[in-house]
Amino acid sequence: MATARRRKIVAGNWKMNKTVPEALALVRELRGQVASQGDTVEVVVAPPFVALQPLHVALEGAPLALAGQNCHWESSGAFTGEISAPMLAELGCAYVIVGHSERRQYFGDTDEQVNKRAKAVRAAGMTPIICVGETLAERDANQTLAVVERQVRGALEGFEAKDVASFVLAYEPVWAIGTGRNATAAQAQEVHAAIRGLVERLYDGETAGRVRIQYGGSVKPDNAAELLGQPDVDGALVGGASLKAGDFAAIVQAAT
Ligand SMILES: O=C(CO)COP(=O)(O)O
């Protein structure tokens, strides 16, 4: 497999948190704290949709990219309450998270829908951050690699190597999300290596060497360095700890 030098990517998934004034205050703080890491680590924030436009303006020239937390697969139409990929691109988003386990659990997102969303993101010129991960019951039943493989295959269906090489995959074990119980570095590395191996089988070594794989699930300042130090862990997708500038900046620092 090609040993490409992958630039680490740390993204904050704010989920349904922060009003617009709170979002502006958080990025104002963050901007100062992550400014110097901008070259070695890519830093991304994914606020609620309503904060995207004000943050787009506030982040002008800052080393912080914007992401949407989800999008619909059609570009427009009668889909009340939905947001399309071109709408997110217009607001300056470089990334869109698709297939987050909360979408799969609470809103019924299927592998096929995740694939359609990822295609819409790519077609709009952005990069999908495709989330996969097993539940505790699946891990206990030794199904982890089978579940993750099914999700990755489903999400990547119909994509070519050149697309996938630029994508971000995020391994987020469901049992580690918001629980304070992170996967150990060894558990994360095992699944990340399996995902990279699968990308090599589906595409080629060059693509597998370039695709970036984030770990997510209770990433905090005190466990980030060990997780991010694993050879196949190319960044972090951070929930709770991304809501505090100091904690998020410390995780970004751990990625440098
Ligand atoms: O779901 C996550 C990021 O997408 C992880 O959330 P926590 O960091 O709060 O566990």
Active site residue 56: no
C-alpha distances (whole Å) from 214 to each of 73, 116, 169, 172 are 23, 21, 6, 8
Residue 38, pLDDT above cutoff 50: yes
Active-site position among 42, 72, 100, 192: 100
pLDDT in tens, 199-209: 999 999 999 99
Active site residue 42: no
Tell me if 108 is assigned to a ligand binding site.
Answer: no
C-alpha distances (whole Å) from 30 to each of 36, 44, 205, 224, 249 are 11, 11, 36, 18, 7
Which helix (H) or strand (E) element contains residue 103? helix 101-107
Q: Nearest-CA neighbor of 13 among 249, 165, 240, 175?
A: 240
Mean pLDDT computed over every residue of the chain: 96
* Predicted TM-score of the model (pTM): 0.97
List, in order of start, the domains of the chain with CATH numbers: 8-254 (3.20.20.70)
Mean pLDDT, residues 117-132: 98
Are 70 and 108 spatial neighbours (Cβ–Cβ below 8 Å)? no
pLDDT for residue 1: 52
pLDDT in tens, 43-95: 999 999 999 999 999 999 899 999 999 999 999 999 999 999 999 999 999 99
CA of 77 to the centre of ligand 1 (A): 31
Tell me if 218 is assigned to a ligand binding site.
Answer: yes
Tell me if 175 is assigned to a ligand binding site.
Answer: no
Task: Check if 240 has its Cβ closer than 6 Å to any atom of ligand 1.
Answer: yes
Task: Check if 237 has its Cβ closer than 6 Å to any atom of ligand 1.
Answer: yes
pLDDT band at 2 (very low <50, low <70, confident <90, very high): very low
Question: What residue's CA is closest to ligand 1, atom 8?
Answer: 239
